Amino acid sequence: MTSTVAQPGVAAPFGPHDAAELVAALRSTVDLGTWRRAVAELARHPGAFAPHLRRTLKIRVLATSTGDLLAELLPAAGLAAGLGLEVTQAPYGQLEQELLDPRSATCRERPDYVLLVPTTDDLALGELAGRAPDDVAGDAVRRWTRLHEAARGAGIGVCQFLFTPPAADPFGSAALRFPESPSAVVARVNAELRAGSDAVLVDCERLAAEHGLRDWRDDRFWFAARQAVSLAALPAVARATAAALAADQGLSRRCVVVDLDNTLWDGVVGEEGIDGVGLTASPRGEAFAAFQEHLLTLHRRGVALAVATKNDADLARRAIAGVPGMRLRPEHLAAVVADWRPKSEQLRELASRLSLGLDSFAFADDNPAERLEVRRALPQVDVIDLPANPSDYVAALAGRPTLEPGRLTAADRQRNASYAGLRAAAELRERTGSLEDFLDDLAMEGVVRPVDDALLPRVAQLLGKTNQFNLTTRRRSEQEVAALAADPRWICLALALRDRLADHGVVGVAFAELQGEEAVVDTLLLSCRVIGRTAERLLLGQLGRAAAARGCTTLVGCYRATDRNALVADLYPQLGFAPREAAAGEQRYSLPLAALDDLATRHIAGGESDERTVQR
């Protein structure tokens, strides 16, 4: 193996390992110098950062303050969240002009998101002396929701900063007790925007509380240059923005993998024994207990938990069940890998067991050498640098941009029960003679129904994050899905699946556009949790029946290759579809609806939605 050695007076080349270390720093620090270095290196060496980017988005900043420094830092913030952010700015203060005029540059260019960056000065708090606080707050909420609606009407997603209370409030520390105080009006506007808007919201109220209100804004910069956020706080704002956008795109990590010794408990179980380690009534013991409780909160949110440890397998399992004071129990863990292989190999095994891509994982380990090995071998994994003091473990996870929650759905909260079902299913598979017998033994039931308002969040979530079993990988927002579901030229269906071991919730989506006598399958995807169970047959069969009821005679399947969906490259031929001429960069296949019975699966009961419902 050769290595590059820097010559005297010549800067060492910037390579993939340097990029990985810089991305790791962006996820854990808000030091402005580090962030400005990242901005410079990204501009000079974009290719070195490519392995860390999971999606590219176009963002247009619409601000009522100076947005230049924020726009400069956003691409670096995107690196921390796995996004390539292409950022442009509208002229200062031109929000209504840019969103209400269809001829504006924003409406013509149609970025993926507009980033609305208001300041507390936009709330007209000076009018509180002569107007009712309800009127002041109501006017503000109406203004911003109107801008949200205008952006959505133009087919643009919305991300907005919430407002921060003033550091100096005439009502002092009792301000929130008085509805007419500036702080109370800010809190009310934020609460109403949270409750009534489906925009992606960056909670600057909370960020300012974490940072300190007096340090959040520097009035010297505000009066001189209309810079609303202090330089020291800008990296935190930019990172929170990118994290919120990535979460909205369904890119949050779905599984946190942890070590055991000195990560979940204090000590080394192989040396000190099960009764010698634990979460004792001591400052260190309480810190490990707090870390486990934080992991449990992530578990309740729908994030899977797993263990990768260099330990004897039997000892590791007994310790998880028996170490004194454990908050985490065996049933909270989707999988445990305990052996003496490198941690990168253990993570690959976890990815295989859980049917997740490596970019779905975050990895926390107290050992710097183990973290470096994983970071070098698996750049897709978010490696969390746990601090030397376990009292700081919770903070290391709590501010992680890759673990930001998006819109939580019922399926998110069901996910860990589904992983437990997968674990039980794997054990059942080992005891069953054949795949056919295994599928029958699962006693699966499926229900396919049209996408409605209740299903929109989950369907949009699946569209945003499903990669492996996704025939075309078209990403659509809730608003775009709602428009297709309401269009009589489209059939939009969702599949819910359960078996005797778990209820997996909504795990499949199929959209078809009616083009004369053909129904063209624009989208077909399944969650990785149900791959290999013949659910695609049920979903396509129901789609074909709905198309036949609309007068179609042929189902046309489309496959658009990506670097993640090779798994389904031959799906349509395997299902009996005949190849036809490619179109629009996609391979296409067709199946006469007269042959629809060939798609039937005997392994999944149900699937027959009410005819009136299927046909809307």
Q: Is the pLDDT score of 611 beyond 80?
A: no
Least confident of 19-33, 253-267, 311-325, 415-429: 415-429
| Residue at which a domain ends, from 403, 425, 457 | 403
In a domain, 420, yes or no: no
Same domain, 96 and 224: yes
**Which residues is 383 bridged to in the sheet?**
363
Reported pTM: 0.79
Instruction: Report the CATH number at residue 561.
Output: 3.40.630.30
pLDDT for res 414? 60
pLDDT for res 408? 62
Which tokens is 39 given? 């901005």
Percent of the chain with pLDDT over 90: 71
* 257-277 per-position pLDDT tens digit: 999 999 999 999 988 889 888
Domain hosting residue 371, numbered range: 255-403
pLDDT for res 585? 83
pLDDT for res 422? 62
Same domain, 304 and 233: no
> Looking at per-residue confidence, does 418 or 284 come out higher?
284
Which of 574, 509, 573, 513 shows the shortest CA–CA distance to 542? 509
Same domain, 234 and 270: no
Q: How many domains does the chain have?
A: 3
Residue with tokens 């989506």: 509
Same domain, 462 and 595: yes
Same domain, 210 and 281: no
pLDDT for res 464? 87
Same domain, 135 and 240: yes
In a domain, 410, yes or no: no
Same domain, 600 and 501: yes
Percent of the chain with pLDDT over 70: 92
Same domain, 522 and 609: yes
CB within 8 A of 427, min separation 6: which ones? none
Q: Residues 233, 215: contact at Cβ < 8 Å?
A: yes
Residue 47: in which H helix or E strand, if any? Answer: helix 46-49
Same domain, 369 and 496: no
Name the amino acid, one letter, at 334. Answer: A
Q: Residues 117, 229: contact at Cβ < 8 Å?
A: no
How many Cα atoms sit within 13 Å of 527 on the Cβ side?
26
* 292-339 per-position pLDDT tens digit: 999 999 999 889 999 999 999 999 999 999 999 999 999 999 999 999
Residue 65: in which H helix or E strand, if any? Answer: none
* 163-189 per-position pLDDT tens digit: 999 999 999 999 999 999 999 999 999
Q: Is the pLDDT score of 68 beyond 90?
A: yes
* 448-461 per-position pLDDT tens digit: 999 999 999 899 98
In a domain, 413, yes or no: no
Same domain, 205 and 278: no
Same domain, 100 and 217: yes
In a domain, 9, yes or no: no
In a domain, 417, yes or no: no
Instruction: Report the CATH number at residue 146.
Output: 3.40.50.1110
* 384-413 per-position pLDDT tens digit: 999 999 999 999 999 899 999 877 666 666
In a domain, 233, yes or no: yes
Average pLDDT of the segment spanning 432-446: 83
Question: At CA 445, angle to CA 440 and CA 451, rounded to 5?
Answer: 145
Instruction: Report the CATH number at residue 394.
Output: 3.40.50.1000
Radius of gyration of the chain (CA): 26
In a domain, 232, yes or no: yes
Which of 208, 218, 118 shows the shortest CA–CA distance to 159? 118
Same domain, 207 and 265: no
pLDDT for res 610? 43
Average pLDDT of the segment spanning 373-394: 94
pLDDT for res 2? 41
DSSP class of residue 555 equals E
| Residue at which a domain ends, from 216, 248, 280 | 248
In a domain, 416, yes or no: no
Q: Is the pLDDT score of 255 beyond 90?
A: yes
pLDDT for res 614? 35
Give CA–CA dist 59/160, Å, rounded: 12
Using the Cα atoms of residue 261, residue 267, residue 268 and residue 272 in order, give the sign of their dihedral.
Answer: negative
Q: Secondary structure of the chain: what % helix, strand, coil (to 5)?
A: 50, 20, 30
Q: Is the pLDDT score of 415 beyond 90?
A: no
